[in-house]
Structure 1
Amino acid sequence: MTSILTNAAAMAALQTLRAIDNNMETTQRRVSSGYRVETAADNAAYWSIATTMRSDNSSLSTVSDALGLGAATVDTAYTALDNVINVLSEIKAKLVAAREPGVDKAKINAEMTELKNQLVSTTQSASFSGQNWLYNTDPTAPGTKQVVSSFVRAADGTVQVTTLDFDTSQSVLVDTVDAARGILTRDVDADLLTASPSGVARNYFLLDVGSTSPATGTEIKIDGTTTDAVMDDMISVVSDLLEQLTNSASTLGAITKRIDMQEQFVSNLMDVIDKGVGRLVDADMNEESTRLKALQTQQQLGIQALSIANTNAQNILTLFK
């Protein structure tokens, strides 16, 4: 039946053209934005996952910055500590040289005094971003310093910030409040460093920085009256200090290595998360471009079909001629 009131062909063509236009709008939006899932309306589940992971990635970026700050702090402390070890080795060499008969101990002591000043200067300079792990002026004891290492999201959705911890009480060399808290300012019992301790303490300390609670032993310095036995004790004490500093430097070196590994891991993890999010929400531009071309062709055909359907109604006029 042919009707001039109801053009079924035109209605069908129009419905098809509307569907094609909707599909083309979606495809064009994907091409322009680069996203297959741009809003929650596109795919609520994927959008939710992608939004959460992008937030976590932003947190990991902050962690990476914190690791860089921590690495700089540790490197500063390690560099200064390495210099202190070298200077302390020089002091030990001076003491050994002073042990030889006939040397001018006063001149050697003058050289040692300058080396001690260098030790104090080095520890004071080992500061980064307001933190100094070698030189303490705080009335409270040096505590554990933390370096943010990672941001972790558990399977149940809870989040946690993990840290790398370092006990600075093992690295403080100079303490201006309590000399006993500084490796170079505290008393060291030379008697305990011998093969057969006598039980009678012979305490020595290397640096006198005017601590509020000073060391009570004998400062390591020499003159013409210094006996060979005292010289031997001083050499033993300096050797023990060198061993302690070497252990501290080893610990800092291990932390530096750990931070470097964590930085690399966080960087790789951020890349992996980006790839994972991309697989969920990014548009395949090859596929979308092909679909867009096909939809453009369908649109042209739909317009042509609608034009033909509208023309059919006009053909009825020929029946009345």
Structure 2
Amino acid sequence: MASVNTNAGAMVALQNLNKTNSQLQTVQNRINTGLAVSSAKDNGGIYAIAQNMRAEVGGLRAVTNSLDLAVSTVDVALAAGDAISDLLIEMKEKALAASDVSLDSASRTALDEDFKALRDQISTIVENAEFNGTNLIDGSSSGGISALANAKGTNTINVADEDMSLSGTILGLSSGTDIATQSDAAAAVTAIESALTNLNSALSRLGTGSKSLEIHKTFVSKLSDSLEKGIGNLVDADLAKESARLQSLQVKQQLGIQALSIANSAPSTVLGFFR
């Protein structure tokens, strides 16, 4: 039936053209964003999974920052402990020399001055072994330092503090320790040897804690990379395929416009019936 009121051909052509335009818009959006699933309307299930994984990655970034902070704090403590160990070795050398009964008073006095300077330097090092307000070796950080271990914040890695101050639990030296006499020097040698033994144990514990933090930091980095790769597998667009599809849809769009133009001109043939 020929009719000017209803053009079925134009309706079909328009439906096909609208469908092509919709597909073209989707492809252009994928090319613009690089994502096959950029919002929930693209694929609600995949989008929800990807968002959960993105939250996990964000949490792991916080874990990494926490681990970095803890590692730096422990490394500062280790550096200070190494310096204290060197000072104790020098102090033992001075004390051993001063314990010689044949030493004259002038030499003993000079050794004592050097000894006390080294002793006081330990206190200076301990007071300044601080990172971001935390000092693991001055006895002020009760319980040590904790770092986040997972993105939920339910697990932590702890490194205990070590009191390396002169009168602390590690060194056990008095702030007034000197080698002014032969007997004082002999006692100082014994005390320093004990302090060195305790200090080496403390440094070993700190080193183990620092290694644990570094190992977990490496694991968190690999886990984060794996999650990001998984997100990409879920939502990233294959741009090579989308580019080919874009060209195909552009041709279909032009053909659809041509088909609609032909369909729209069909009612004009009715005029031939009245000539």
TM-score (norm 1): 0.78
SS in 2 for 1:109: helix
1:283 aligns with 2:237: yes
Alpha-carbon displacement from aligned partner over 1:49-69 (angstroms, at most 9, x marks no partner): 111111221121122111121
- Separation (CA, whole Å) in 1 of partners of 2:145 and 2:134: 12
1:85-138 per-residue CA deviation (whole Å, 9 max, x = no partner) reads 0000111111222233422333222211111011111111111111111223x5
Rounded Cα–Cα distance in structure 2 between residues aligned with 1:285 and 1:305: 29
Higher helix share: 2
Matches within 5 A, 1:48-197: 48-103=48-103, 104-136=107-139, 143-152=142-151, 159-168=152-161, 171-174=162-165, 179=167, 181-184=168-171, 186=172
2:179–2:188 contact (8 Å) kept in structure 1: no
**What is the alpha-carbon distance in structure 1 between the residues aligned to residue 179 and residue 229 of structure 2?**
67
Cα drift, residue 243 of structure 1: 1.0
1:262 to 203, 213, 216: 216
Identity %: 33
Q: Number of matched residues?
A: 272
Residues 157-306 of structure 1: matches in 2 within 5 Å? 159-168=152-161, 171-174=162-165, 179=167, 181-184=168-171, 186=172, 206-208=173-175, 220-224=177-181, 226-227=182-183, 231-306=185-260
Higher relative contact order (CA 8 A, sep 6+): 2
| Greater than 4 Å deviation, 4+ residue runs | 230-233
- Whole-Å separation in 2 of the counterparts to 1:231 and 1:70: 39
Using structure 2 for the length normalisation, give the TM-score: 0.91
* C-alpha contact 2:150 2:156 (8 A) present in aligned 1: no
Cα RMSD of the aligned pairs, angstroms, is 2.0
The one-letter amino acid of 2:137's match is L
Distance in 2 separating the partners of 1:31 and 1:231: 80
CA separation of 1:232/1:222 partners in 2, compared to 1, >3 Å: closer, same or farther? closer
Residue 146 of structure 2 contacts residue 158 of structure 2 at CA under 8 Å; is this kept in 1? yes
Contact 1:146 1:163 in 2 (8 A): no
Residue 200 of structure 1: aligned partner:
none
What amino acid is aligned across from residue 111 of structure 1 in structure 2?
D
How big is each residue's C-alpha offset from its partner over 1:276-306, in whole Å with a ceiling of 9 and x where there is no partner?
A: 1111112111111111111111111111111
Structure 1 distance, partners of 2:22, 2:56, is 34
User: What is the letter of the counterpart of residue 146 of structure 2?
Assistant: V
Work out the CA distance in 1 between the residues paired with 2:213 and 2:64: 10
One-letter identity of the residue aligned with 1:100? D
Task: Give structure 1 stretches of 5+ with no counterpart.
Answer: 153-158, 187-205, 209-218
Deviation at 1:231, TM superposition (A): 4.8
Distance 1:296 1:66 in 2: 51
Amino acid at match of 2:159: F
Q: Distance in 2 between matches of 1:15 and 1:164?
A: 62
For structure 2, list consecutive stretches of 5 or more residues without a partner in the other structure: none
Alignment of 1:32-47 (within 5 A): 32-47=32-47
